[in-house]
């Protein structure tokens, strides 16, 4: 089937799909008239039952913690898939050269403004990422958001100098270990709930005072575990793509 | 009205996927289709004149929007990006092996 | 719905359509970064700060970076 025929067929069926979607969305309650009781229950009970002031993080790591375990497994599988796909093949080798990238093109020197900004912003970005991970149960934030911000700090290090330097001094082995440790940690905290409590992923630690850093039982621990896993995963994937673009050559 | 926008974005993204001539263009259109589901989820949980479900310095109020759909959406955003990275790695390897990124020419060999 | 929400929804629809209909991948990568930012604004206006944080960090920084790196690798081999 040629491209023009495919486009014509899709336009017909796409219009049908659009009509079907609009008709089915019309059956939902109008925008703004939220009906379900579950959300209101969680909002009302998050402070009395868990001493945590951020309802979204409570849902993520405690009320629906099992779904987050599944999402962590998807993250792990995707990172392993990227590692397997972007490995060095038999007819390639790694030879880092400071002046050229993997296909032989010259790399221009990064301008001084970018290098200065990159070097200056690494510290505040790491502090911001750690703050967001640690305060997951108090203010908007948590492991997922803070982990991505910490991974972008690695990108800033790359921007502020050449990739060759990053390869030599960067914590590559630590990043690879961090990803596995984070995912395993999340699962093992659930097992600890089985050992010391009565069910998997039960919130068995003392709940503490609402509004302090060490409140809400296992929620900050889960948040830190997920933060470590997401940081390791994203930083590892970014470094794999950078290696492919800059270092891995085919001979 | 937000449901109409979400449905439109899904169909436009699907059109981009179906008529794509470049694998990387296809992958970006897939992320557009994914984002339409986030809009639908958030619209389901929205209350008119709502406040965010965070009670750090305000007392819990019945006007707070639904936190369950927000939790689903935010994990989905991060994990969906890692799956997109996996697809990009597949595209890079396909280009290395076959020299082309055109889905038309990447069909399995016949005969 | 307030004016801000209607404006954010229209912006999302326009930028999303532009992202899906642009053919060249390099231009599309830049547009997808803008789309991520506009989606973050939409989530913020719909009273979801957690989701807006996540979307802005991911869709404006991490995703366009990986797309650009994949493009650089592919373009280099084509020479």
The Cα A193–Cα A205 span in angstroms is: 9
Please, which residues have CB within 8 angstroms of residue A219's CB and are 6 or more apart in sequence? Answer: A50, A52, A57, A58, A61, A62, A136, A137, A203
Of B9 and A30, the structure prediction assigns the larger pLDDT to B9
How many CB pairs below 8 Å do chains B and C form together? Answer: 124
User: How distant is the Cα of C77 from the closest Cα of chain B, in angstroms?
Assistant: 8
The token pair that represents A16 in the structure block: 């049908």
CB contact under 8 A, A42 and B72: no
Interval B6-16: pLDDT, tens: 999 999 999 99
Neighbour-count burial of B34, counting CB atoms closer than 10 A to its CB (0-12 exposed, 13-18 middle, 19+ buried): middle
**pTM recorded for the entire structure:** 0.89
The Cα A188–Cα B58 span in angstroms is: 34
In the three-class reduction of DSSP (H, G, I as helix; E, B as strand; rest coil), residue C72 is classed as helix
CB contact under 8 A, B74 and C28: no
Respond yes or no on whether ipTM tops 0.90: no
Which residue in the set C16, C20, C51 is minimally distant from B70, CB to CB?
Answer: C51
Q: Which chains touch B (3 or more CB pairs under 8 A)?
A: A, C
Q: Please report whether residue B58 resides in a domain.
A: no
C6 and chain A: CB distance < 8 Å anywhere? no
Please, which residues have CB within 8 angstroms of residue C79's CB and are 6 or more apart in sequence? Answer: A103, A104, A105
Query: What is the rounded average pLDDT of the residues A189-217?
Result: 79
Task: Tell me whether strands A248-250 and A92-94 are parallel, antiparallel or unpaired.
Answer: antiparallel
Model confidence band, residue A217 (pLDDT cutoffs 50, 70, 90): confident
Contact B10, B36 (CB under 8 A): yes
Which residue in the set B22, B50, B77 is minimally distant from C58, CB to CB?
Answer: B77
Interval A91-118: pLDDT, tens: 777 776 666 666 667 677 778 888 888 8
Q: Where are the domains of chain A?
A: 54-250
Contact B54, C36 (CB under 8 A): no
Closest chain A residue to B91 measured between Cα atoms?
A85
Please, which residues have CB within 8 angstroms of residue B107's CB and are 6 or more apart in sequence? Answer: none
The Cα A95–Cα A78 span in angstroms is: 27
Closest chain A residue to B58 measured between Cα atoms?
A53
Residue of C3, C38, C46 to mutate when probing chain B, most B C-beta within 10 A: C46
Q: Please report whether residue B38 resides in a domain.
A: yes
What angle, 0 to 180 degrees and rounded to 10, lies between the N-to-C axes of helices C49-57 and B67-98? 10
Interval C58-78: pLDDT, tens: 998 889 888 988 888 887 654
Which residue in the set B13, B52, B78 is minimally distant from C20, CB to CB?
Answer: B13
Number of domains comprising chain B: 1
Indicate the DSSP class of residue A94. E
Q: Please report whether residue B93 resides in a domain.
A: yes
Q: Please report whether residue B74 resides in a domain.
A: yes
Count Cβ atoms below 10 Å from residue C62 Cβ, excluding itself.
Answer: 24
Model confidence band, residue C41 (pLDDT cutoffs 50, 70, 90): very high
- B94 pLDDT higher than 50: yes
The Cα C66–Cα A241 span in angstroms is: 7
Query: What is the rounded average pLDDT of the residues A68-90?
Result: 88
């Amino acid at each position: 089937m040629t491209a023009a025929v495919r486009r014509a067929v899709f336009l017909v069926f796409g219009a049908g799909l659009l009509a079907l979607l609009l008709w089915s969305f019309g059956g939902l309650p109008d925008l703004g008239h939220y009906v379900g009781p579950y959300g209101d229950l969680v909002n009302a009970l998050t402070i009395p039952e868990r001493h945590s002031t951020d309802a979204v993080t409570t849902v993520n790591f405690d009320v629906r913690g099992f779904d987050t375990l599944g999402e962590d497994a998807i993250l792990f599988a995707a990172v392993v898939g990227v590692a397997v796909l972007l490995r060095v093949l038999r007819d390639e080798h790694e030879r880092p050269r400071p002046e050229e990238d993997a296909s032989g093109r010259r790399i221009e020197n990064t301008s001084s403004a970018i290098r200065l900004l990159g070097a200056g912003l690494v510290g505040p970005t790491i502090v911001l990422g750690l703050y967001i991970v640690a305060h997951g149960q108090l203010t908007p934030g948590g492991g997922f958001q803070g982990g991505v911000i910490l991974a972008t700090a690695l990108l800033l290090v790359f921007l502020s100098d050449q990739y060759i330097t990053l390869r030599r001094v960067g914590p590559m082995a630590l990043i690879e270990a961090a990803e596995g440790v984070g995912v395993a940690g999340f699962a093992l905290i659930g097992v600890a709930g089985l050992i010391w409590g009565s069910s998997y992923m039960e919130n068995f630690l003392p709940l503490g005072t609402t509004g302090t850093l060490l409140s809400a039982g296992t929620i900050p621990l889960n948040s830190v575990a997920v933060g470590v896993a997401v940081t390791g995963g994203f930083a590892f994937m970014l470094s794999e793509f950078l290696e492919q673009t800059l270092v891995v050559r085919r001979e | 009205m937000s449901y109409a926008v979400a449905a439109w974005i899904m169909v436009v993204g699907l059109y981009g996927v179906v008529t794509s001539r470049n694998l990387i263009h296809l992958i970006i259109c897939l992320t557009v289709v994914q984002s339409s589901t986030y809009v639908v989820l958030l619209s389901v949980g929205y209350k008119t004149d709502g406040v965010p479900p965070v009670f750090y310095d305000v007392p819990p109020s019945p006007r707070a929007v639904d936190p369950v759909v927000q939790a689903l959406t935010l994990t989905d955003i991060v994990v969906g990006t890692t799956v997109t990275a996996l697809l990009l790695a597949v595209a890079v390897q396909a280009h290395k092996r076959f020299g082309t990124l055109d889905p038309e020419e990447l069909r399995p060999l016949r005969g | 719905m307030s004016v801000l929400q209607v404006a954010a929804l229209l912006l999302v629809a326009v930028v999303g359509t532009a992202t899906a209909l642009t053919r060249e991948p390099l231009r599309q990568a830049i547009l997808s970064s803008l789309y991520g930012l506009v989606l973050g604004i939409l989530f913020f206006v719909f009273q979801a700060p957690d989701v807006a944080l996540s979307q802005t960090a991911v869709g404006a920084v991490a995703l366009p970076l990986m797309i650009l790196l994949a493009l650089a690798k592919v373009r280099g081999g084509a020479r």
